[in-house]
Amino acid sequence: MEIRENAFVVCEAGVCRGVFDAVPERYGALEVIDCENLLVMPGMVDLHTHAPQYAFCGTGMDYELLTWLIRVTFPEELKYADAEYAAAAYDRFAQMMARSATTRAVIFGTRHAEATLMLMDRMEKSGLVSYVGKVNMDRCDPKALAEPSAAEAAADTRRFIEESLRREYRHTKPIVTPRFVPSCSDQLMAALGELRRTYGLPVQSHLSENPDEVELVRELAPWSAFYGDVYDHYGLFGGDCNTVMAHCVHSTPQEVQRLRDNGVWVAHCPSSNMNLSSGIAPIRRYMEQGLRVGLATDVAAGTSPSMFRATTDAIQLSKLYQRCMDGNARALTFPESFYLATKGGGSFFGRVGSFEEGYAFDAVVLDDSAGAPGEAMPVQERLQRAFYWELDRNGIVMKFADGERIF
Ligand code: GUN
Ligand code: FE
**Residue-level pLDDT at 34:** 97
CB count, 10 Å around CB of 379?
12
Same domain, 25 and 76: no
Ligand 1, atom 7: closest residue by C-alpha: 301
Residues 247 and 265 grouped into a single domain: yes
Ligand nearest to the CA of 298: 2
Is the same domain home to 92 and 229? yes
Give the closest residue to 127 by CA, choosing from 87, 169, 186, 85.
169
Establish if 1 belongs to a structural domain: no
Helix/strand/coil for 222: coil
Distance 124 CA to ligand 2 centre (A): 21
Expressed in angstroms and rounded, the spacing between residue 44 Cα and the centre of ligand 1 is 22
| Segments in 266-371 forming alpha helices (H) | 270-275, 283-288, 307-320, 334-339, 345-346
Q: 282-335, pLDDT tens digit by residue?
A: 999 999 999 999 999 999 999 999 999 999 999 999 999 999 999 999 999 999
Do 315 and 375 belong together in one domain? no
Residues 72 and 172 occupy one common structural domain? yes
Domain end point (choices 320, 349, 378): 349
Ligand 1 atom with minimal separation from the 298 CA? 9
Residue 150 forms part of a structural domain: yes
For residue 225, how far is its CA from the centre of ligand 1 (angstroms)?
Answer: 22
Residues 224 and 135 in one domain: yes
Check if 209 has its Cβ closer than 6 Å to any atom of ligand 1.
yes
Give the helix, strand, coil percentages of the chain, each rounded to 5: 45, 20, 40
Residue 152 in any domain: the answer is: yes
CATH (domain of 143): 3.20.20.140
User: Does one domain contain both 182 and 96?
Assistant: yes
Under 8 Å between Cβ of 355 and 373: no
95 and 63 co-located in one domain: yes
Render pLDDT for 81-99 as a digit per residue (tens, 0 to 9).
999 999 999 999 999 999 9
In order of 169, 247, 254, 365, the CA distances from 124 in angstroms are 7, 27, 39, 22
Looking at the fold, whether 109 and 140 belong to one and the same domain comes out as: yes
Helix-helix angle 150-166:113-126, to 10 degrees: 30
Residue 158 has pLDDT above 70, yes or no: yes
368/395 Cα distance (integer angstroms): 6
20 has pLDDT over 70: yes
Between the CA of 1 and the centroid of ligand 2 the distance, in Å, is 29
Task: Verify whether ligand 1 is closer than 6 Å to residue 104 (CB atom).
Answer: no
Is 281 within 8 Å of 318 (Cβ atoms)?
Answer: no
Residue 356 lies in a domain: no
Q: 373-393 pLDDT, tens per residue?
A: 656 799 999 999 999 999 999
Question: What's the chain's average pLDDT?
Answer: 97
- What pLDDT sits at residue 141? 85
Question: Residue 354 domain-assigned?
Answer: no
Same domain, 165 and 16: no
Number of domains the chain contains:
2
Cβ(51) to ligand 1 under 6 A? no
Q: What is the pLDDT of residues 344-370, one digit of tens each?
A: 999 999 999 999 999 999 999 999 998
Shared domain for 135 and 213, answered yes or no, is yes
DSSP state of 339: H
Report whether residue 48 contacts ligand 1, using a CB cutoff of 6 Å.
Answer: no
Domain presence at residue 359: no
Q: Give me the domain span that covers residue 55.
A: 44-349
pLDDT tens profile 188-242: 999 999 999 999 999 999 999 999 999 999 999 999 999 999 999 999 999 999 9
Task: State whether 69 and 16 are in the same domain.
Answer: no
